Amino acid sequence: MNELVTFRESQLMNFRDYEFGSGAHHLYRWIAIKTYELAGSIPDEKAVIADVIDSVEYRDDYVGGGVDPHGNVHGPYWLTSITPDCYLPRDRSAVNKVLDEWLGAGGAIPSELRSAIDEALRLLHDPGTSCYELPRLSDSAINDYADIHNEYHEFLLVSRNEKKAVLLVASDD
């Protein structure tokens, strides 16, 4: 039961919905963002991570099926393989570096898309935001259809100042 987080909204930025200029391409990439409201008192961020993992909205395979309330996968991983300790603390600059490199792979990002991404990631500019990354897990954690994504990046941003947690998945299909 989630006591620390309440799911608020989901947003998908499908790069195919934007016009890329000459020499650039969407590369079938997308960013999915799920926003959670935090309860008033947060004793431990690992507990926040645990509640996000426990949420129904976390049960998303990111291959087009959407959230499955009875599902047993999250992204390319079996849900049972993901614990709060899997999420590693990262500084904001490391998160920005990973995302900037991933974004740059297809050439120049259209300004409208870049603005949407910057707005979605504005928590990265807040010094009070803690950042966590779900790195690639062991082969035994990978589910049967995980190979649909060439790259898969997942971050959880926790802002005590704004009382929200943002789960960000950047990938392709």
Tokens standing for residue 169: 């998945």
pLDDT tens digits, 5-27? 999 999 999 999 999 988 888 99
Residue 26 identity (one-letter amino acid): H
pLDDT at 45 over 80: yes
Tokens standing for residue 27: 């590369």
Q: What is the pTM of this model?
A: 0.93
pLDDT tens digits, 80-131? 999 999 999 999 999 999 999 999 988 999 999 999 999 988 888 888 899 9
Q: Which of 131, 120, 6 is nearest to 56 (CA)?
A: 6
Q: 3-state class of 120 per DSSP?
A: helix
DSSP state for residue 65 in the 8-state scheme = S
- Residues 55-72 have a mean pLDDT of 92
For position 1, what pLDDT does the model report? 58
Rg (the chain; Cα; Å): 16
For position 155, what pLDDT does the model report? 97
For position 36, what pLDDT does the model report? 96
Q: 3-state class of 73 per DSSP?
A: strand
Q: What does the buried/exposed string (b/e) look like for 61-76 if buried means 16 or more CB atoms within 10 Å of the residue's CB?
A: bbbeeeeeeeeebbbb
